[in-house]
Amino acid sequence: MTITEHGSGFELVYGDAPEFVASAPGRVNLIGDHTDYQGGYVLPMAIPWQTRVQLRRRADQMVRAFSASQSGAAQPLSYELGREAMTGGWLDYVQGVTAMLRAAGHAAGGFDMYIESDVPAGAGLASSAALEVALLRALVAAFALELDAVAIARIGRAAETDFVGVPVGIMDQMASSLADGGSALLLDTRTLDWRRVALPPQIAFVVLGSGIAHSHVRGDYSTRRAESIAAAQSLGVGELRDATLELLEAATTMPDVLARRARHVICENARVLAAVEALQKGDAASLGRLFGDSHASLRDDYEVSIAEIDQLVEIAEACPGVHGARLTGGGFGGSIVAVVDAAAAPEAARRIADAYERRSGRKATSLVCGAGVIR
């Protein structure tokens, strides 16, 4: 991992060449949203957009970090290891990684780092997880740390939950650490058991960003998580992973809002497993129906969609070659993902984006993923 080229950004900022480079992808979750913090199933895949970290070790305990994505920042931001403190900005994710790495018993020294990324922030494509995993991969190489892919994901998630204060599940970090572009990652978020599910070449996925950024730091995501915990308690289970529709139907005194939250998680877990079966059969039509059901559930039962996302889904579902579409990620903005015949995918992406811009006045970013698309 020693750098011999591609060090120009680092050199411009620090006046020297980096020693190590590492990268990690963003992810699109094909199906299984708001299940990961209730011990459920998720089915993400890696996207070609990556976050890259260039790093050089220092002889002291200082960290200097520069992000090429942060326009207007002329100088690196800095802090001392062991004295991490929230700033309310992107540096908190770097500080969270070093703080949680130390808490897990791993010693890393000071370093200079340069970050560049084409994973858009706020698009529901795990930009923060890509940064956490890329940085941890660079630190593993630089300081000979004994961390495997799952341990990296755990520390990355801890950085986000315990330091930054965002109560996310572990899907994003596991996907960034383990997923690839030729398969989907079936993950049991309770046990962290995982396996790759090959993507059939005749099916592609089109990801379209709404142009409306979301933020898990705001209260809506935390509210949904709190409601899901209350729903599990009301049903007498530790996590909604253990609940059934029969148990939910018997809970006649349960508040309606909690019942709807529970119904989404129960049904979404079942949809993930059904989606795996559809992928294995190459059944785009069945997969599309599952996507449509998932979006309706996220919109109506979990209430995390917004008008622009619903509009994008509606436009996508009317496009030739598209079998179904859904909100992907935590919601309140972000992106959708559509199941598309592979041969029709590039044209579908263009038509959907054009129609969305005409109707909403917003530009939609688009990305086509699938076996044979990402290498």
Say how many domains are in the chain: 2
Band of residue 301 on the pLDDT scale cut at 50, 70, 90: very high
Between 371 and 138, where is the model more confident?
A: 138
**Per-residue pLDDT at 5:** 45
Lowest mean pLDDT among 116-125, 143-152, 199-208, 320-329: 116-125
Domain that holds residue 230: 200-369
Whether the predicted pLDDT of 375 surpasses 60: no
Q: Which of 33, 172, 293, 301 is catalytic?
A: 172
Which residues, in sequence order, are CB contacts of 358 under 8 Å at separation 6+? none
State the average pLDDT over residues 39-55: 96
Query: What is the percent of the chain with per-residue pLDDT over 70, rounded to a whole number?
Result: 95
State the average pLDDT over residues 55-79: 90
Boundary of a domain, candidates 139, 169, 195: 195
Let me know whether 189 and 321 are in one domain: no
Whether the predicted pLDDT of 253 surpasses 90: yes
Query: Quick check: is 160 in a domain?
Result: yes
Query: Quick check: is 247 in a domain?
Result: yes
Band of residue 372 on the pLDDT scale cut at 50, 70, 90: low
Average pLDDT score, the chain: 93
- Residue 263 sits in a domain of what CATH number? 3.30.70.890
Query: Quick check: is 121 in a domain?
Result: yes
Answer yes or no: 172 catalytic. Answer: yes
SS3 readout for 113-140 = EEEEECCCCCCCCCHHHHHHHHHHHHHH
**Whether the model pTM is above 0.75:** yes
Q: What tens digit of pLDDT does each residue of 314-328 get? A: 999 999 999 999 999
State the average pLDDT over residues 45-68: 96
- In contact, 205 and 4? CB cutoff 8 Å: no
Tell the burial category of 128 from Cβ atoms under 10 Å away from its Cβ (0-12, 13-18, 19+). buried
Give φ, ψ of 252 to 5 degrees: -70, -20
Let me know whether 85 and 112 are in one domain: yes
